[in-house]
Structure 1
Amino acid sequence: MNLLFLSYWGLEDPLTISTVFPHLRLLQQLPEVKHILLVTIERGASATKELQFAPGFAVDKITFSPLRSRQNQPLLLNKIDDFVRFPNELIQLVQRHAIEVIIGRGAPAGALAYLVWKKTRTPFLVESFEPHADYMLESGVWKGYDPRYLFQRYWEKKQKQLAVGLMPVAENYRRKLIQEGIPAGNIVTVPCSVNVTDFSYDSASGQRVRARLGIAADAPVGIYVGKFGDIYYDAEAFDLFRDAAAFFGPQFRLLVLTPNPEAEVRAKLTKVGFTAEQVFVTKAPHAEVPNYLSAADFAFATIKPAECRRFCSPIKVGEYWAAGLPVLLTEGVGDDSDIIKQEGGGATFNLDNPATVPAALERIGALLQQPDYREAIRALAIRHRTVARAAEAYQQLLLPLAAQHA
């Protein structure tokens, strides 16, 4: 069977590295899969640069072909152009490589897979299937009249009707899809997978990071990884950092790994009372993130609440857990908030109920006093976030298609 694996992100995007590459490694090991064509969507600077597919894959089994977004035009026009051009380019790739099944990573990639299906009837599956249109609407990123919202919502409806398999990232969403009438046999929940080995706590690495940054070995350290704004809290996140500093005292240190401009982030930290010595801000390569996690004691996951947030699976939570870090997480996020309440692994807060913030910090503080807290939390990542769930999904949804093409 020949597969086309479509990532909606660029080859060097941390989301591709952390969520797509582990699944490619699984797929290349399946004897039923003869060839995989990896297709990424390159925007910005990466749209014009020479890209090299990462090592560690069977080069005789996986080839790489990027789709390059046009530059120097407004974002809305750029996205519209993408969805006009890319389906035709994908159809050419499907024909040239004799593709028998398309796997789209995320509902926007699933939309492109559906548009290819309209012309070629190539069966498609959608990984990480979430209500993306609702995410963007409820987070205030898109308006209800935005063409991106209207088209994406329609394309998600068509994916539900026509995809041969859907892999939602949360059990909450699987149940909702079944209620909507989608056959249960076509749906397998696959939370965003994490390489637990790569992200496991490494005491020596953590000590080296602390020494390099001038952080005392006994200082309580919180870490935040990711963007501010869009579907994530912005000003509210910095208020939460301030509350944590007040709770843990003057020794508290904060690590922020973010693609947001460093000067802007530092200005916001200063505004809520942090000194330059109390914080470290950088944009770290994905491969270096585990070292910083090992230098921390707990982590922040400040995701804006919304009804559809019950259906997501933040990759950062899995990475935090793999490093043995308790997570301070917004209430109502995916299955993770329920896991924290039922199995441990951190504490949840709700900014509509301010009393939950000091209570959550108290819970984090209590967890840090437990001598084996890292091992217990790492077990959550093994139980809920390993690629074993993806392997099960491929067995149920993909291999029957392989048998049809044998």
Structure 2
Amino acid sequence: MEIRRELPYRLVIQPGTTYVGGNYPGCDRSSNFRGVGSSSLGQDEECVESGGTIVPRSLVAPDVVAATYDGRSGTRVANRRQSMNALYICYFALREPLVQSQVVPYLRELAASEIQPTLLTFEPRNPAWSSIERQQCRETLRKQGIRWISLRYHKFPSLPATAYDILRGNLVSCYVARKYRVDVIHARGHVPAAMAALARVLGLAKLIFDIRGFMPEEYVDAGLWPPGGTLYRITKAVERRLLASADAFVVLTHRARETLFPGCSATDSIGRPIEVIPCCVDMKKFREAGPGQRESIRKKLNVDERRVLVYVGALGGWYLMSEMAAFIAVAHERDPTIFALVLTQSQTQAEAFTSRLLELGLSPGDYRVGSVSPDEVPEYVAAADFAFCFIKPSYSKLASSPTKIGEFLACGLPVLCNSGIGDTDDLLFTNRVGVIFEKFDRESYNRRVDR
């Protein structure tokens, strides 16, 4: 909470002086505050007030009232800061790119905001951690203000393994909540939310249900579960319970919020907070190419005078490999200068995509399909002229926020994408930063290429 009060005169805190007539919230004008520390006109000094004494923040614990004195404007800004402990549960491994790009930066910012985060991850048997690696990661996170705890991830058999992980997650969550006096548990997805359920029921902590997607529908849409099957019905029942018991919610898209909480905006019908937070992008990595950087990558690709169309990520499954290959072929047919750059980590997927491009009549000089190191991806993206991404449209994808779309836009590229994926339609159309495909056919491809 931020409170701004105008002082009747400029304030300079000097060692041993007395501040009389303060306009401090909750105190009358005759209150006296003894100053400890110093500041000068034209500078801001952050101090804290405790028991009538103003002390530099560096000398006290962080769970008190902080005040900033602005000698230039005579404005006193008081921020009521209270130390908070949070547990973040993530059903992924620490070394996964998603955790490194999405979770750790978020927790790092929480730590900088005087919230003490504890991260709980689930690590698979392979690749195994050495004791030295584990200690190094723990120490790296500790320096960023993050406490790290891990459990073993179990995969087979699927349902019993997940149920076992949920049971252990509940026990550990209760233990951590008690030991570190956790105020809030942030559960990233359905399974982590189930792991926080016991601690919530016992009143050990509040629960933020971070709904990363419509999980039951995702499994059905992916063909992994039959519609209305046993697993679907069990998961929907758990989901209903979590929605009823959580204290606050995060969703990725406005369309997801409207689906889950019809007619609601900042809060649901009983006043619980709802936040729409799309997947984030590291703007320090993904940005428009600097001087000479774009030319260097394009020279390496031998595409100096060509228009480069880029895609980054998996091929197959949710990402429509055949449709994307067909679009590249049509685009190249309409404009022979087009060069397709497809970056994917899977060698098998890369080979399958290359075979499809050859079948469609493209020559090896018209594309590059393969991988680069994660650190090089932003440079290659920024060297392109426009980006594209075709995702299988379905009901569950209304809750999807593809990170790659934000990364493309951060690099200054217009984006071509199909409709029905989260808020992407509105994002691209309203901001005039891309085009939307309603159908996957030659006529639609030709029309969009001409634009």
Deviations 1:187-222 (A, max 9, x none): 011111212232101143333222333x22221111
Structure 1 runs not aligned, ≥5 long = 364-406
What's the secondary structure of 1:360's corresponding residue?
helix
Aligned to 2:124: 43
- The CA deviation at 1:321 is 0.5
Q: Which runs of 4+ in 1 moved over 6 A?
A: none
Aligned residue pairs, count: 359
Which residue of the partner structure matches residue 70 of structure 1? 154
Q: Is the CA contact 1:312–1:334 (under 8 Å) kept in the aligned structure 2?
A: yes
Identity %: 25
Q: Structure 2 stretches of 5 or more lacking a match?
A: 1-83
Structure-1 separation of matches of 2:162 and 2:366: 40
- In 2 relative to 1, CA 325–270 (structure 1 residues): closer, same or farther, beyond 3 Å? same
Deviation at 1:341, TM superposition (A): 1.7
Contact 1:6–1:105 at 8 Å: present in 2 too? yes
**Contact 2:174 2:204 (8 Å CA) reproduced:** no
2:127 counterpart of 1:53 = no
Q: CA RMSD in A?
A: 2.8
- Which of 213, 219, 223 aligns to 2:306? It is 219
- Counterpart contact for 2:387–2:416, Cα < 8 Å: yes
Residues 1:150 and 2:150 aligned together: no
* Partner of residue 50, structure 2: none
Deviation of residue 250 (structure 1)? 4.8
Partner of 1:304: 392
Q: Indicate yes or no: 2:194 matched with 1:111.
A: yes
Cα gap change, 1:248/1:117 in structure 2, threshold over 3 Å: closer, same or farther? farther
Name the structure 2 match of 1:282.
370
Task: Tell me what 2:70 maps to.
Answer: none
Q: How does 1:6-405 map to 2 (within 5 A)?
A: 6-31=89-114, 33=115, 35-43=116-124, 45-46=126-127, 48=129, 50-51=133-134, 52-53=136-137, 59=143, 61-70=145-154, 73-114=156-197, 116-118=199-201, 121-144=204-227, 148-179=231-262, 182-183=268-269, 185-203=272-290, 204-213=292-301, 215-259=302-346, 261=348, 262-351=350-439, 355-363=443-451
More helix per residue: 1 or 2?
1
Is 1:225–1:258's contact at 8 Å kept on the other side of the alignment?
A: no
Alpha-carbon distance in structure 2 between the residues aligned to 1:44 and 1:229: 26
The answer to whether the 8 Å contact 1:110/1:159 transfers is: yes
Contact 1:4–1:103 under 8 Å retained in 2 = yes
In the TM superposition, what whole-angstrom CA distance separates every residue of 1:24-44 from its partner, at most 9, and x where no partner exists?
Answer: 12211212x1x2111222236
How far apart, CA to CA, are the structure 2 residues paired with 1:275 and 1:150? Answer: 49
Which residue of structure 1 lines up, in the alignment, with residue 44 of structure 2?
A: none
Q: Map Cα deviations across residues 135-166 of structure 1 (whole Å, 9 max, x no partner).
A: 23223243335655334323322222111111
Q: Distance in 2 between matches of 1:350 and 1:219?
A: 27
Structure 1 distance, partners of 2:138, 2:410, is 23
**CA distance in structure 2 between the partners assigned to 1:180 and 1:151 by the alignment:** 27
Residues 361-404 of structure 1: CA distance to partner in whole angstroms, max 9, x if unpaired?
A: 223xxxxxxxxxxxxxxxxxxxxxxxxxxxxxxxxxxxxxxxxx
Distance in 1 between the 2:441 and 2:201 partners?
A: 47
TM-score using structure 2 length: 0.71
Structure 1 residue 276, shift from structure 2 partner: 3.2
Gap change, CA 1:102 and 1:361, over 3 Å in 2: same
For residue 172 of structure 1, give the secondary structure of its aligned residue in structure 2: helix
Question: What TM-score results when the alignment is normalised by the length of structure 1?
Answer: 0.78
